[in-house]
Amino acid sequence: MPDIDIRITGRAGRITLTRPKALNAMTYDMCMAIDTALRNWREDDAVDLVIMDAEGDKAFCAGGDIADLYASGSKGDFDYGRTFWRDEYRLNALIFEYPKPVISFLQGFTMGGGVGIGCHGSHRIVGESSKIALPECSIGLLPDVGSTLMLALAPGRLGEYLGTTGHRMDPGDAVFAGFADHFIPISDWSALIEMLEASGDAELIAKHSTPPPESTLEQQHSVIEALFAGESLGDVLNALTHSSDAMAADALTLMGRNSPLSMACTIEALHRLRGPSLTLRKALELEYRYTFRAMEHGDFLEGIRAQIIDKDRNPQWRFADQSVPAVAVSKMLQPLGKDMLTFEEV
């Protein structure tokens, strides 16, 4: 298919996203093509590892292609979106649990759905241009594609900060926060990929890895810890409003653009997930509760209208005063019963 190049080169299964003009945004067909390839290669002795990369300098994958989701949802058809998210989340789990090394090269923007395919593998490589972010709250979703796992595991309350602000992590930040493993200069990527294809040996990556740049988030960690320690969105906003730290003002500006319902549910989801029972499947199942309801009961359609369709950047959010009742959060995250996300292979 024209949007993705899937092949075997040497000892490697190769997946290259080929939509650079669209910042390699993921369509449903691309998602399913990756899913099929990974299932085929899982039992193929000719494939020792999988390499994911993308054409163009600007982005590995800037997210999901959401125009189709809006087109169907705005007509009252919520099933297409629910199917998209369900199958995408199953792919995220397949990558995370894959028995062979999955290596991703994350240049430029890796956001939303790009995090789902690029940041769950065993070897996640960033370079100088890498910018990883979870901007879902700006379109009425919550960070999904399994990202709540990484947000819940990030140091301290960094997950709340990243999830509610959509802060763009540079390569140093991404390694510190747990979204990447290795920093390798982009000029070395092509030669490294050739060696991986020829050898099938993922151990080569560590030999080419260099110390990442300093992380601004690491330097600001104690401030973030204090400001985002609240139990609810209201607590966090109160702390930010009464702080004199410049970072608090920046965070309030970023959060002021986002859906209050999405941010409140993001904070609640992370609080529920943290602890010894955390798994990727548990994170995905909780995320799906939200996305299943996002068109019908959340801000998703309004967020897409304002950002992508009309581009007026003036979404009319529910709870625009940023006061989100606990019951509204509970309703978005309550179990789905027979519609719950499952991971059986069909």
Would you name the residues annotated as active-site residues? 64, 113, 136, 144
pLDDT in tens, 226-283: 999 999 999 999 999 999 999 999 999 999 999 999 999 999 999 999 999 999 999 9
Q: What residue ranges define each of the domains in the chain, with the CATH number in brackets?
A: 4-339 (3.90.226.10)
CA 221 distance to own-chain centroid: 21
Cα angle 214-218-223, degrees, rounded to a multiple of 5? 140
What is the three-class DSSP state of 201? coil
Question: pLDDT at position 1, please?
Answer: 77
Q: What is the pLDDT of residue 67?
A: 83
The per-residue pLDDT for 346 is 62
Q: Is the dihedral of CA 64, 197, 180, 190 positive or negative?
A: negative
Q: For residue 112, which phi and psi values (nearest 5 degrees)?
A: 50, -120
Map residue 26 onto helix, strand or coil.
strand
According to the model, what pLDDT value does residue 41 have? 98
Please tell me the predicted confidence (pLDDT) of residue 90. Answer: 98
Residue ranges in the chain modelled with pLDDT below 50: none
Task: Give the pLDDT score at 51.
Answer: 98
Q: What order do you get walking across the sheet with 131-133 strand by strand?
A: 59-61, 109-111, 131-133
